[in-house]
Structure 1
Amino acid sequence: MKTKTALPILLFFTAFLTLFFTQSSVSANNLKPIQGIQSTENHKKGLAELSIPQKTHQIKATTTTATAQKTKTQSYANLNSLLHKQLGKAYVWGAVGPDTFDCSGLTQYSYAKAFNKKLPRTAQAQYQALDHVSHADVQAGDLVFFSYSGGATIDHVGIIVKGHNQMIDAQDRGVIQESYMASYWKPYIVGYAHVTDLD
Protein backbone atom coordinates (compact mmCIF):
# COMPACT_ATOMS: atom_id res chain seq x y z
CA MET A 1 0.00 0.00 0.00
CA LYS A 2 2.83 2.33 0.89
CA THR A 3 4.73 1.45 -2.32
CA LYS A 4 1.66 2.14 -4.52
CA THR A 5 1.14 5.54 -2.84
CA ALA A 6 4.78 6.56 -3.10
CA LEU A 7 5.09 5.71 -6.81
CA PRO A 8 2.75 8.42 -8.11
CA ILE A 9 4.42 10.96 -5.85
CA LEU A 10 7.86 9.92 -7.14
CA LEU A 11 6.64 10.12 -10.74
CA PHE A 12 5.16 13.55 -10.06
CA PHE A 13 8.45 14.90 -8.67
CA THR A 14 10.42 13.34 -11.53
CA ALA A 15 8.10 14.97 -14.08
CA PHE A 16 8.25 18.27 -12.22
CA LEU A 17 12.06 18.30 -12.07
CA THR A 18 12.35 17.33 -15.72
CA LEU A 19 9.96 20.12 -16.72
CA PHE A 20 11.77 22.62 -14.47
CA PHE A 21 15.23 21.91 -15.87
CA THR A 22 13.90 21.82 -19.42
CA GLN A 23 12.27 25.25 -18.98
CA SER A 24 15.38 26.63 -17.32
CA SER A 25 17.53 25.42 -20.20
CA VAL A 26 15.15 26.85 -22.74
CA SER A 27 14.93 30.18 -20.92
CA ALA A 28 18.67 30.43 -20.64
CA ASN A 29 19.14 29.65 -24.34
CA ASN A 30 16.43 32.10 -25.30
CA LEU A 31 17.98 34.88 -23.22
CA LYS A 32 21.33 34.77 -24.99
CA PRO A 33 20.22 36.19 -28.34
CA ILE A 34 17.93 38.67 -26.60
CA GLN A 35 20.78 39.96 -24.43
CA GLY A 36 22.95 40.20 -27.53
CA ILE A 37 20.37 42.36 -29.30
CA GLN A 38 19.88 44.58 -26.26
CA SER A 39 23.61 45.01 -25.90
CA THR A 40 23.97 46.05 -29.53
CA GLU A 41 21.08 48.51 -29.35
CA ASN A 42 22.31 49.96 -26.07
CA HIS A 43 25.79 50.30 -27.52
CA LYS A 44 24.46 52.23 -30.52
CA LYS A 45 22.26 54.33 -28.28
CA GLY A 46 25.19 55.03 -25.97
CA LEU A 47 27.33 56.21 -28.89
CA ALA A 48 24.55 58.51 -30.06
CA GLU A 49 24.20 59.98 -26.58
CA LEU A 50 27.94 60.46 -26.27
CA SER A 51 27.96 62.66 -29.36
CA ILE A 52 25.67 65.22 -27.68
CA PRO A 53 28.16 66.34 -24.99
CA GLN A 54 30.91 66.45 -27.62
CA LYS A 55 28.84 68.83 -29.75
CA THR A 56 28.07 70.98 -26.71
CA HIS A 57 31.77 71.11 -25.89
CA GLN A 58 32.55 72.24 -29.43
CA ILE A 59 29.97 75.02 -29.19
CA LYS A 60 31.49 76.22 -25.92
CA ALA A 61 34.95 76.20 -27.43
CA THR A 62 33.72 78.26 -30.38
CA THR A 63 32.08 80.75 -28.00
CA THR A 64 35.30 81.08 -26.01
CA THR A 65 37.27 81.73 -29.19
CA ALA A 66 34.77 84.36 -30.29
CA THR A 67 35.01 86.06 -26.88
CA ALA A 68 38.80 86.08 -27.08
CA GLN A 69 38.62 87.64 -30.54
CA LYS A 70 36.19 90.26 -29.27
CA THR A 71 38.59 91.15 -26.44
CA LYS A 72 41.39 91.67 -28.97
CA THR A 73 39.32 94.32 -30.77
CA GLN A 74 39.76 96.53 -27.67
CA SER A 75 42.94 97.94 -29.07
CA TYR A 76 45.07 100.96 -28.46
CA ALA A 77 43.77 102.35 -31.76
CA ASN A 78 40.29 102.70 -30.22
CA LEU A 79 41.65 104.70 -27.30
CA ASN A 80 43.96 106.80 -29.47
CA SER A 81 41.16 107.69 -31.87
CA LEU A 82 38.88 108.73 -29.02
CA LEU A 83 41.58 110.82 -27.35
CA HIS A 84 42.38 112.72 -30.54
CA LYS A 85 38.72 113.68 -30.86
CA GLN A 86 39.00 115.44 -27.49
CA LEU A 87 41.99 117.58 -28.46
CA GLY A 88 41.24 121.29 -28.21
CA LYS A 89 38.36 120.93 -25.75
CA ALA A 90 38.40 123.30 -22.79
CA TYR A 91 39.67 122.57 -19.30
CA VAL A 92 37.14 123.03 -16.51
CA TRP A 93 37.91 121.89 -12.97
CA GLY A 94 35.60 119.00 -12.00
CA ALA A 95 34.36 118.45 -15.59
CA VAL A 96 33.99 114.88 -16.84
CA GLY A 97 33.09 115.52 -20.50
CA PRO A 98 32.07 115.23 -23.14
CA ASP A 99 32.54 118.95 -23.91
CA THR A 100 34.92 120.01 -21.13
CA PHE A 101 37.32 118.07 -18.89
CA ASP A 102 39.64 118.22 -15.97
CA CYS A 103 42.63 115.85 -16.00
CA SER A 104 41.06 112.85 -14.26
CA GLY A 105 37.72 113.53 -15.94
CA LEU A 106 39.48 112.98 -19.29
CA THR A 107 41.09 109.70 -18.22
CA GLN A 108 37.84 108.42 -16.70
CA TYR A 109 35.78 109.42 -19.74
CA SER A 110 38.25 107.97 -22.25
CA TYR A 111 38.48 104.52 -20.69
CA ALA A 112 34.74 104.33 -20.12
CA LYS A 113 33.99 105.18 -23.75
CA ALA A 114 36.79 103.18 -25.39
CA PHE A 115 36.58 100.00 -23.28
CA ASN A 116 33.61 100.35 -20.94
CA LYS A 117 36.15 100.35 -18.10
CA LYS A 118 35.35 102.45 -15.07
CA LEU A 119 38.15 104.36 -13.36
CA PRO A 120 37.83 106.20 -10.03
CA ARG A 121 36.89 109.86 -10.31
CA THR A 122 40.02 111.68 -9.09
CA ALA A 123 43.70 111.47 -10.02
CA GLN A 124 44.49 110.53 -6.41
CA ALA A 125 41.97 107.65 -6.43
CA GLN A 126 43.17 106.44 -9.83
CA TYR A 127 46.77 106.41 -8.63
CA GLN A 128 45.83 104.37 -5.57
CA ALA A 129 43.58 101.91 -7.41
CA LEU A 130 45.83 100.89 -10.30
CA ASP A 131 48.95 98.72 -10.59
CA HIS A 132 52.11 100.80 -10.85
CA VAL A 133 54.85 100.22 -13.43
CA SER A 134 58.32 101.67 -13.87
CA HIS A 135 59.22 104.29 -16.44
CA ALA A 136 61.06 101.62 -18.45
CA ASP A 137 57.91 99.49 -18.66
CA VAL A 138 55.30 102.10 -19.57
CA GLN A 139 53.14 101.42 -22.60
CA ALA A 140 50.78 103.49 -24.68
CA GLY A 141 47.51 103.62 -22.75
CA ASP A 142 49.16 103.73 -19.32
CA LEU A 143 48.67 106.71 -17.04
CA VAL A 144 51.35 109.10 -15.79
CA PHE A 145 50.82 110.89 -12.47
CA PHE A 146 52.21 114.14 -11.11
CA SER A 147 52.47 115.67 -7.65
CA TYR A 148 53.28 119.26 -6.67
CA SER A 149 53.72 118.23 -3.04
CA GLY A 150 56.47 115.63 -3.33
CA GLY A 151 54.01 112.75 -3.48
CA ALA A 152 51.81 113.77 -0.55
CA THR A 153 48.98 114.38 -3.01
CA ILE A 154 48.39 113.41 -6.62
CA ASP A 155 47.60 116.58 -8.51
CA HIS A 156 47.57 115.69 -12.21
CA VAL A 157 47.25 112.71 -14.56
CA GLY A 158 47.73 112.17 -18.28
CA ILE A 159 47.29 109.27 -20.71
CA ILE A 160 50.48 108.08 -22.41
CA VAL A 161 50.19 107.81 -26.19
CA LYS A 162 52.56 106.52 -28.83
CA GLY A 163 55.45 108.79 -29.60
CA HIS A 164 58.56 109.88 -27.71
CA ASN A 165 57.36 110.39 -24.09
CA GLN A 166 54.02 111.74 -25.26
CA MET A 167 50.77 112.09 -23.30
CA ILE A 168 47.35 113.58 -23.85
CA ASP A 169 46.04 115.46 -20.83
CA ALA A 170 43.58 118.13 -19.81
CA GLN A 171 45.20 121.18 -18.23
CA ASP A 172 44.94 124.97 -18.22
CA ARG A 173 45.54 125.12 -21.99
CA GLY A 174 42.77 122.58 -22.61
CA VAL A 175 43.11 119.02 -23.88
CA ILE A 176 46.48 118.81 -25.61
CA GLN A 177 49.21 116.37 -26.58
CA GLU A 178 52.60 117.11 -25.06
CA SER A 179 55.75 115.54 -23.63
CA TYR A 180 55.49 114.40 -20.02
CA MET A 181 59.29 114.63 -19.87
CA ALA A 182 59.25 118.35 -20.64
CA SER A 183 61.10 120.49 -18.09
CA TYR A 184 57.87 121.78 -16.53
CA TRP A 185 56.44 118.23 -16.04
CA LYS A 186 59.36 115.87 -15.43
CA PRO A 187 60.26 117.04 -11.88
CA TYR A 188 56.72 116.36 -10.73
CA ILE A 189 56.30 112.80 -12.02
CA VAL A 190 55.55 110.43 -9.12
CA GLY A 191 54.69 107.29 -11.02
CA TYR A 192 52.98 105.39 -13.81
CA ALA A 193 50.08 102.96 -13.75
CA HIS A 194 48.90 100.21 -16.07
CA VAL A 195 45.15 100.23 -16.71
CA THR A 196 44.62 97.34 -19.13
CA ASP A 197 46.41 95.30 -21.78
CA LEU A 198 46.03 96.78 -25.25
CA ASP A 199 46.95 95.44 -28.69
Structure 2
Amino acid sequence: MKTKSALPILLFFATFLAIFFGQSTISADSIKPIQGIQATANHTDTLSSISIPEKIQAIKSDSKANVADTSDKKATKNYSDLINLARKQLGKDYVWGAVGPDTFDCSGLTQYLFANAYNKTLPRTAAAQYAAFDHVSHDDVQPGDLVFFSYNGGASIDHVGIVVSGDNQMIDAQDRGVLKESYMASYWKPYIAGYAHVMDLK
Protein backbone atom coordinates (compact mmCIF):
# COMPACT_ATOMS: atom_id res chain seq x y z
CA MET A 1 0.00 0.00 0.00
CA LYS A 2 2.73 2.35 0.91
CA THR A 3 4.70 1.41 -2.21
CA LYS A 4 1.79 2.25 -4.57
CA SER A 5 1.18 5.68 -2.93
CA ALA A 6 4.82 6.72 -3.23
CA LEU A 7 5.13 6.01 -6.95
CA PRO A 8 3.05 9.00 -8.17
CA ILE A 9 5.09 11.32 -5.95
CA LEU A 10 8.38 10.03 -7.41
CA LEU A 11 7.05 10.44 -10.94
CA PHE A 12 6.00 14.02 -10.14
CA PHE A 13 9.46 14.99 -8.88
CA ALA A 14 11.16 13.28 -11.81
CA THR A 15 8.99 15.23 -14.25
CA PHE A 16 9.63 18.51 -12.40
CA LEU A 17 13.42 18.04 -12.45
CA ALA A 18 13.42 17.16 -16.14
CA ILE A 19 11.47 20.31 -16.99
CA PHE A 20 13.66 22.53 -14.77
CA PHE A 21 17.00 21.37 -16.16
CA GLY A 22 15.69 21.37 -19.70
CA GLN A 23 14.79 25.08 -19.52
CA SER A 24 18.01 26.12 -17.79
CA THR A 25 20.37 24.61 -20.37
CA ILE A 26 23.06 27.19 -21.33
CA SER A 27 23.82 27.56 -25.00
CA ALA A 28 27.50 27.63 -25.91
CA ASP A 29 26.84 30.43 -28.42
CA SER A 30 25.51 32.68 -25.66
CA ILE A 31 28.83 32.70 -23.73
CA LYS A 32 30.72 35.97 -24.37
CA PRO A 33 34.52 35.90 -24.57
CA ILE A 34 36.18 36.84 -21.31
CA GLN A 35 37.86 40.22 -21.84
CA GLY A 36 41.05 39.24 -20.08
CA ILE A 37 41.53 36.27 -22.39
CA GLN A 38 40.74 38.35 -25.46
CA ALA A 39 43.28 41.03 -24.40
CA THR A 40 45.92 38.38 -23.89
CA ALA A 41 45.26 37.03 -27.35
CA ASN A 42 45.61 40.50 -28.86
CA HIS A 43 48.84 41.09 -26.90
CA THR A 44 50.23 37.81 -28.21
CA ASP A 45 49.37 38.80 -31.76
CA THR A 46 51.15 42.14 -31.26
CA LEU A 47 54.28 40.52 -29.89
CA SER A 48 54.34 37.94 -32.65
CA SER A 49 54.22 40.74 -35.24
CA ILE A 50 57.62 42.06 -34.04
CA SER A 51 60.42 40.12 -35.67
CA ILE A 52 63.37 38.83 -33.63
CA PRO A 53 65.91 40.93 -35.60
CA GLU A 54 63.98 44.08 -34.69
CA LYS A 55 64.04 43.15 -31.01
CA ILE A 56 67.78 42.45 -31.15
CA GLN A 57 68.39 45.74 -32.96
CA ALA A 58 66.46 47.60 -30.27
CA ILE A 59 68.59 45.99 -27.58
CA LYS A 60 71.78 46.86 -29.47
CA SER A 61 70.65 50.47 -29.83
CA ASP A 62 69.99 50.73 -26.11
CA SER A 63 73.37 49.18 -25.34
CA LYS A 64 75.18 51.69 -27.54
CA ALA A 65 73.44 54.55 -25.78
CA ASN A 66 74.53 53.23 -22.39
CA VAL A 67 78.13 52.83 -23.51
CA ALA A 68 78.20 56.37 -24.84
CA ASP A 69 76.80 57.73 -21.59
CA THR A 70 79.41 55.95 -19.45
CA SER A 71 82.42 56.50 -21.72
CA ASP A 72 85.49 58.13 -20.38
CA LYS A 73 85.44 61.77 -21.47
CA LYS A 74 88.76 62.78 -19.96
CA ALA A 75 91.00 64.69 -22.35
CA THR A 76 94.30 63.05 -23.29
CA LYS A 77 97.28 64.87 -21.83
CA ASN A 78 99.44 65.61 -24.84
CA TYR A 79 102.93 67.03 -24.60
CA SER A 80 102.15 69.22 -27.60
CA ASP A 81 99.68 71.22 -25.49
CA LEU A 82 102.49 72.14 -23.13
CA ILE A 83 105.23 72.89 -25.65
CA ASN A 84 102.96 74.98 -27.87
CA LEU A 85 101.97 77.13 -24.91
CA ALA A 86 105.57 77.39 -23.70
CA ARG A 87 106.77 78.60 -27.10
CA LYS A 88 104.24 81.42 -26.98
CA GLN A 89 105.94 82.74 -23.86
CA LEU A 90 109.42 82.95 -25.41
CA GLY A 91 110.83 86.46 -25.34
CA LYS A 92 108.64 87.71 -22.49
CA ASP A 93 110.37 89.64 -19.70
CA TYR A 94 111.52 88.26 -16.37
CA VAL A 95 110.10 89.97 -13.29
CA TRP A 96 110.69 88.55 -9.83
CA GLY A 97 107.41 87.34 -8.35
CA ALA A 98 105.51 87.56 -11.66
CA VAL A 99 103.16 84.74 -12.64
CA GLY A 100 102.16 85.88 -16.14
CA PRO A 101 100.72 86.22 -18.58
CA ASP A 102 102.98 89.11 -19.65
CA THR A 103 105.96 88.65 -17.33
CA PHE A 104 107.25 85.72 -15.28
CA ASP A 105 109.73 84.56 -12.73
CA CYS A 106 111.01 80.97 -13.02
CA SER A 107 108.41 79.17 -10.92
CA GLY A 108 105.68 81.53 -12.08
CA LEU A 109 106.33 80.32 -15.62
CA THR A 110 106.18 76.60 -14.79
CA GLN A 111 103.05 77.16 -12.71
CA TYR A 112 101.41 79.12 -15.52
CA LEU A 113 102.19 76.48 -18.17
CA PHE A 114 100.73 73.53 -16.26
CA ALA A 115 97.69 75.48 -15.12
CA ASN A 116 96.81 76.63 -18.62
CA ALA A 117 97.82 73.52 -20.59
CA TYR A 118 96.36 70.89 -18.23
CA ASN A 119 94.44 72.72 -15.51
CA LYS A 120 97.00 71.34 -13.04
CA THR A 121 98.02 73.43 -10.05
CA LEU A 122 101.69 73.58 -9.11
CA PRO A 123 102.99 75.12 -5.90
CA ARG A 124 104.11 78.72 -6.19
CA THR A 125 107.87 78.54 -5.52
CA ALA A 126 110.68 76.50 -7.05
CA ALA A 127 111.47 74.91 -3.67
CA ALA A 128 107.83 73.88 -3.17
CA GLN A 129 107.63 72.45 -6.69
CA TYR A 130 110.83 70.47 -6.04
CA ALA A 131 109.28 68.96 -2.92
CA ALA A 132 105.87 68.26 -4.45
CA PHE A 133 106.73 65.63 -7.07
CA ASP A 134 108.67 62.38 -7.46
CA HIS A 135 112.29 62.85 -8.44
CA VAL A 136 113.83 61.11 -11.45
CA SER A 137 117.40 60.57 -12.56
CA HIS A 138 119.03 62.45 -15.40
CA ASP A 139 118.76 59.36 -17.63
CA ASP A 140 115.02 59.09 -17.01
CA VAL A 141 114.11 62.73 -17.65
CA GLN A 142 111.25 63.21 -20.10
CA PRO A 143 109.82 66.29 -21.82
CA GLY A 144 107.47 67.98 -19.39
CA ASP A 145 109.60 67.18 -16.32
CA LEU A 146 111.04 69.98 -14.22
CA VAL A 147 114.75 70.63 -13.77
CA PHE A 148 115.89 72.39 -10.59
CA PHE A 149 119.02 74.36 -9.69
CA SER A 150 120.74 75.29 -6.46
CA TYR A 151 123.45 77.93 -6.13
CA ASN A 152 124.58 76.80 -2.70
CA GLY A 153 125.17 73.08 -3.05
CA GLY A 154 121.57 72.03 -2.44
CA ALA A 155 120.92 74.03 0.70
CA SER A 156 118.11 75.76 -1.19
CA ILE A 157 116.33 75.43 -4.52
CA ASP A 158 116.89 78.66 -6.43
CA HIS A 159 115.71 78.10 -10.00
CA VAL A 160 113.44 75.85 -12.07
CA GLY A 161 112.94 75.24 -15.77
CA ILE A 162 110.74 72.89 -17.77
CA VAL A 163 112.37 70.18 -19.88
CA VAL A 164 111.39 70.23 -23.54
CA SER A 165 112.15 67.87 -26.40
CA GLY A 166 115.61 68.07 -27.86
CA ASP A 167 119.12 67.57 -26.54
CA ASN A 168 118.91 68.54 -22.82
CA GLN A 169 116.77 71.58 -23.59
CA MET A 170 114.61 73.56 -21.22
CA ILE A 171 112.43 76.64 -21.32
CA ASP A 172 112.89 78.88 -18.29
CA ALA A 173 112.38 82.42 -17.12
CA GLN A 174 115.62 84.10 -16.00
CA ASP A 175 117.37 87.47 -16.13
CA ARG A 176 117.44 87.44 -19.95
CA GLY A 177 113.71 86.70 -20.10
CA VAL A 178 111.87 83.54 -21.15
CA LEU A 179 114.05 81.51 -23.46
CA LYS A 180 114.97 78.02 -24.59
CA GLU A 181 118.45 76.81 -23.69
CA SER A 182 120.47 73.76 -22.63
CA TYR A 183 120.42 72.93 -18.94
CA MET A 184 123.69 71.06 -19.54
CA ALA A 185 125.45 74.26 -20.63
CA SER A 186 128.56 75.11 -18.62
CA TYR A 187 126.81 77.89 -16.70
CA TRP A 188 123.87 75.62 -15.65
CA LYS A 189 125.19 72.09 -15.31
CA PRO A 190 127.18 72.57 -12.07
CA TYR A 191 124.07 73.86 -10.32
CA ILE A 192 121.60 71.12 -11.22
CA ALA A 193 119.91 69.94 -8.02
CA GLY A 194 117.63 67.34 -9.57
CA TYR A 195 114.63 66.59 -11.72
CA ALA A 196 110.96 65.95 -10.93
CA HIS A 197 108.20 64.20 -12.87
CA VAL A 198 104.95 66.15 -12.73
CA MET A 199 102.62 64.02 -14.87
CA ASP A 200 102.55 61.47 -17.66
CA LEU A 201 102.41 63.01 -21.12
CA LYS A 202 102.07 61.54 -24.58
Q: Normalising by structure 2, what TM-score?
A: 0.69
In 2, the alpha carbon distance for the partners of 1:52 and 1:173 equals 60
> What residue ranges of structure 2 are gaps of 5+ in the alignment?
1-54
Q: Name the counterpart of 1:124.
A: 127
Of 167, 171, 180 in structure 2, the residue corresponding to residue 168 of structure 1 is 171
1:137 maps to a residue whose letter is D
**For residues 58-116 of structure 1, what are the alpha-carbon distances to aligned partners after superposition, in whole Å with 9 as ceiling and x for unaligned?**
2344xx24x25xx22x3111111111111111111101011111000000011111111
Q: Name the counterpart of 2:94.
A: 91
SS in 2 for 1:176: strand
**For residues 24-74 of structure 1, what are the alpha-carbon distances to aligned partners after superposition, in whole Å with 9 as ceiling and x for unaligned?**
xxxxxxxxxxxxxxxxxxxxxxx9xx989856642344xx24x25xx22x3
Matches within 5 A, 1:34-49: none
In 1, the alpha carbon distance for the partners of 2:154 and 2:106 equals 17
In 1, the alpha carbon distance for the partners of 2:64 and 2:165 equals 45
Matched, 1:152 2:155: yes
Q: Name the counterpart of 1:196.
A: 199
RMSD value, Cα: 3.9
Identify, as 1 or 2, the structure richer in helix.
Answer: 1
Q: Name the counterpart of 1:24.
A: none
Matches within 5 A, 1:1-199: 54=63, 57-61=66-70, 64-65=71-72, 67-68=73-74, 71-72=75-76, 74-199=77-202
In 2, the alpha carbon distance for the partners of 1:108 and 1:75 equals 17
Same amino acid, percent of matched pairs: 68
Distance change (3 Å), C-alpha of 1:59 and 1:104: same
In 2, the alpha carbon distance for the partners of 1:122 and 1:135 equals 22
1:121 maps to a residue whose letter is R
1:101 maps to a residue whose letter is F
In 2, the alpha carbon distance for the partners of 1:190 and 1:97 equals 25
- Cα distance, 1:147 vs. partner? 0.7
In 1, the alpha carbon distance for the partners of 2:134 and 2:87 equals 25
2:170 maps to a residue whose letter is M
In 1, the alpha carbon distance for the partners of 2:63 and 2:88 equals 48
4+ aligned runs moved over 6 Å, structure 1: 50-53
Q: Name the counterpart of 1:41.
A: none
Distance change (3 Å), C-alpha of 1:179 and 1:55: closer
- Cα distance, 1:190 vs. partner? 1.1
In 2, the alpha carbon distance for the partners of 1:116 and 1:55 equals 31
In 1, the alpha carbon distance for the partners of 2:126 and 2:190 equals 18
